[in-house]
Amino acid sequence: MEKKEIVIKTNNIVKKFGDRTVLNGVDLDIYRGETFVIMGGSGCGKSTLLRHMIGTLKPDDGKIYLLGKDITNLPEDEMDKIKKRIGMSFQGSALFDSMNVGENVSLPLREHTKLEESVIKIVMKMKLELVGLRGFEDLMPSQLSGGMKKRVGLARAIAMDPEIIFYDEPTAGLDPIVAGVIDKLIIDLSKKLSITSVVVTHDMESVFKIADKIAMLYEGRVVEVGTKEEMRNSKNQLVKQFIAGDPDGPIKFFQQKDDYLEQLTK
Ligand SMILES: Nc1ncnc2c1ncn2[C@@H]1O[C@H](COP(=O)(O)OP(=O)(O)O)[C@@H](O)[C@H]1O
Ligand SMILES: [Mg+2]
C-alpha cells in the first residue's frame, strides 16, 4: 500500500495570550488529500490553531511541520516560499473592495509570479469557472452576494494551485442553500484538484458533509479525532454533546458573569 504523507503535523502546541492558555498541547496529523475538519465551540481556539498552521502565529511551546518543513521558527523569507504552496479562505471573504473580481483573483499571480498579463487572465478565468463564477470578472465586490464573495475568495485562494487550502468558518453567516453550495465546492475542489483541505467550523451540517476526518477541539486540546462514523458513534461526552447541540452536558456555557470572567483568566 502507498504510504500516506503527512502534510501538517502539530506537536504539543501551546499558545498563551496574556494569562490565558488558548491552545494547551495540540497534537494533530493531517494527511495529503484528505479533508480534515477541526470543530469546536466559539472561542475554543480554532482560528488560533489555523494561524499556527499557516505560520502567522508562533507557539509558546511545541512544533509545527508544514509540507515537510519545521515552520515553528522559520525565518520570514523561507516561510514566504512555503506560503506560496498553500491557499487561505478567510472568515469573511477579505476581498479588496476597490478591485473588481478579476483583479482580486489575479492578485496572488501578480504578486508571486512573473507570468505575462495574458496568461494571468487565462488562469484567473479558469479559477472563476472552477467556483462557478464564469464571466463575473468585471463585477465589483459590492455587486456580489455573501456567497458569491466567498466563492471569489476561494478562486483567489486556488489561484496559485495550492497543495493545501485552509478554510476558516467557510459557511458562517450564509443561508443553508448557499452554505450547501460552498460545502459542495469544498468537496469538488478537493476532488478535482487533489487538494488537502483543512476546515475550521462549528457548522455541524457542513462537518458531516465534507469531512474525511474530524478533530474536536475543546479548551485548547484535541479531545478526539476520527472519521464521521467514529465521531457519530463516539462515547466521549464532549463529542456527543457537541454533535447533538445539547445544552446539557460537560461543555459549559456561562450564565453567571463571574464564572465567565473566571474562565477568561484560567
Ligand atoms: N490576538 C489575540 N490576543 C488575545 N486573545 C486572543 C487573540 N486571538 C484570539 N484570542 C482569544 O483566544 C480565544 C480563542 O480564539 P479563536 O481562536 O479566535 O477561537 P475560535 O476561532 O475557536 O472561535 C478567544 O478567547 C479569543 O478571545
Ligand atoms: Mg474563529
pLDDT tens by residue, the chain, 266 residues: 566 899 999 999 999 999 999 999 999 999 999 999 999 998 899 999 999 999 999 999 999 999 999 999 999 999 999 999 999 987 777 899 999 999 999 999 999 999 999 999 999 999 999 999 999 999 999 999 989 999 999 999 999 999 999 999 999 888 899 999 999 999 999 988 889 999 999 999 999 999 999 999 999 999 999 999 999 999 999 999 999 988 888 887 666 677 677 767 66
Measured CA to CA, the distance from residue 2 to residue 167 in angstroms comes to 27
pLDDT value of position 98: 97
Region of residue 94 (left: phi > 0; alpha: psi -120 to 50; beta: else): left
* Terminal alpha carbon distance of the chain: 46
Which alpha helices (DSSP H) does 101-256 contain, by range? 101-112, 117-130, 146-157, 176-193, 204-210, 228-232, 237-244
The Cα 82–Cα 69 span in angstroms is 9
* Atom 1 of ligand 1, residue of closest alpha carbon: 17
Tell me the CA–centroid distance for residue 213 and ligand 2, in Å. 19
Whether the CB-CB separation of 183 and 209 falls below 8 Å is answered with: yes
Q: Which atom of ligand 1 is nearest to the CA of 264?
A: 25
What pLDDT is recorded for position 265?
65
Rounded CA gap, 11 and 8, in Å? 10
Q: Looking at the structure, give the CATH architecture of the domain made up of residues 6-85+163-264.
A: 3-Layer(aba) Sandwich (3.40)
Best CA proximity match to 205, nearest among 234, 230, 238, 171: 171
Q: Report the atom number in ligand 1 closest to the C-alpha of 18.
A: 4
Domain residue ranges in the chain: 6-85+163-264, 93-161
Helix (H, G, I), strand (E, B) or coil at 77: helix
DSSP character for 14? E
d(CA 160, CA 112): 9
CA separation for the pair 56, 18 (Å, rounded): 18
Copy the grid coordinates of residue 146: 455573501
Q: For residues 174, 238, 240 and 63, what is the CA-based torsion angle, rounded to 10 degrees?
A: 70
Provide the 10 A C-beta neighbour count for residue 161.
12
- With a 6 Å cutoff on the Cβ, whether 47 touches ligand 1 is yes
CA distance 152 to 154: 5
- Asked if 186 and 170 touch (Cβ cutoff 8 Å), the reply is yes
- Phi/psi of residue 196, nearest 5 degrees: -85, 130
Please provide residue 5's backbone torsions phi and psi, each rounded to the nearest 5 degrees: -95, 130
| Top mutation candidate among 17, 20, 168, 217 for ligand 1, by most atoms within 8 Å of CB | 17
- Cell numbers linked to 2: 502507498
CA dihedral (147, 44, 218, 5) positive or negative:
positive
22 ligand 1 Cβ < 6 A = yes
> For strand 196-201 and strand 35-39, is the pairing parallel, antiparallel, or unpaired?
parallel
